[in-house]
Structure 1
Amino acid sequence: MHEKSKEIAAYNSVLINKIDDFIKEKFKEYGYKDINPSNASVLCIVCRNGGKVKIGEIYDSLLKQKSTITESIKKLVKKGYLKKVKCTKDKRVTYVVVTEKAKIFQKDFNKISEELSNIIFEGFDKEEREILNDLIVRAINNFNKKELQS
């Protein structure tokens, strides 16, 4: 195995920390002291799905523990970014719906995401961006396959 390949976990950790620090700093700049990157990922899933999504679909979209996602949803409801709504046809189904506060956040978060992408991919051409994305998705899928086998 190539030496650089053995260091992927360390490189990944450094990149995650840099991204997390960048997002936290931007949240402060934009005045979002009541939200963190983990909660923002839950909120973005809801926004990307038209502002209303079944809680189960959030579990399926994020590679996090259900308890972590549930806690994020509770915090976002308490802080006024989301509200829970029971399905009228099937009482077992609960939706989360964005509020006006969430819509304002989403506009700012899109700007932050664009700035983050520009930093990460500075000096990369379009093909390199796509290759990096594809390789990361393949690596994640390798873990997903392994989990299914267990």
Structure 2
Amino acid sequence: MSHTTELFMGMRSLFRLYDKMLKRVCTEYDLTVIEGDIISFLQNNPGKDTAVDIVELRMLSKGAVSKGVDALIRKGLLERIPDTKDRRRIHLKLNRQAEPVMESINEVRQDFLNIVLEGFTKEELKMYDQFFDRLFHNIENALERGKTL
């Protein structure tokens, strides 16, 4: 198996594990996985608070995000806030009622990190950070130059 295939399969497994762990929170609070994902995204990405941000950065469909946002608003966990400078932009804000869900998501995230980083030394974690910083920098540079591989 090639390194590229291993990387893609590993990333897929990583996402599946996180989704499986997040599903526990969703079950507890009667949320769909998309709704849980939206809350998690908004909680962890300050300044990225529009449906478009969620669609682009989480690579979810517009329809799924729209449906999830509507459901979270109906449940009282989320509200829409029009942008003061551009009426076409709508910001999404988590309400106080979402705080218990956010706490549970934080616990899941910490459990997830404990699982995937188990057994790594501080030096290895530092190398991991350096590796991914460089990897993501190279990806961004290639995308900015329009390089296709």
Q: Common fold, TM-score beyond 0.5?
A: yes
For 1:6-38, what per-residue CA distance to the aligned partner results, in whole angstroms no more than 9, with x for missing partners?
Answer: 42222222232222222213543xx123131x4
Q: What is the count of residue pairs matched by the alignment?
A: 145
Structure 2 residue aligned with 1:7? 6
For 1:75-125, what per-residue CA distance to the aligned partner results, in whole angstroms no more than 9, with x for missing partners?
Answer: 322332211122345423322111122122111211111111111111012
User: Conserved in 1, the CA contact under 8 Å of 2:82 and 2:89?
Assistant: yes
Structure 2 residue aligned with 1:64? 59
Structure 1: which 5+ residue stretches go unaligned? none
Structure 1 residue aligned with 2:115? 119
User: Conserved in 2, the CA contact under 8 Å of 1:83 and 1:99?
Assistant: yes
Separation in 1, partners of 2:78, 2:69: 7
What SS does structure 1 have at the residue aligned with 2:80?
A: strand
Structure 2 residue aligned with 1:42? 38
User: Conserved in 2, the CA contact under 8 Å of 1:54 and 1:93?
Assistant: no
Tell whether 2:103 aligns with 1:104: no
Separation in 2, partners of 1:76, 1:35: 10
Structure 2 residue aligned with 1:95? 91
- TM-score normalised per structure 1: 0.69
**Identity rate, percent:** 19
Structure 1 residue aligned with 2:50? 55
> What is the Cα-based RMSD across aligned positions, in Å?
3.6
Separation in 1, partners of 2:138, 2:70: 29
Structure 1 residue identity aligned to 2:76: G
Structure 2 residue identity aligned to 1:19: Y
For 1:33-71, what per-residue CA distance to the aligned partner results, in whole angstroms no more than 9, with x for missing partners?
Answer: 3131x4333323433466x86416734872415614444
Runs of 4 or more off by more than 6 Å in structure 1? none
Separation in 1, partners of 2:122, 2:69: 35
Separation in 2, partners of 1:76, 1:144: 37
Structure 1 residue identity aligned to 2:127: I
Separation in 1, partners of 2:48, 2:54: 11
User: Conserved in 2, the CA contact under 8 Å of 1:77 and 1:83?
Assistant: yes
What SS does structure 2 have at the residue aligned with 1:85?
A: strand
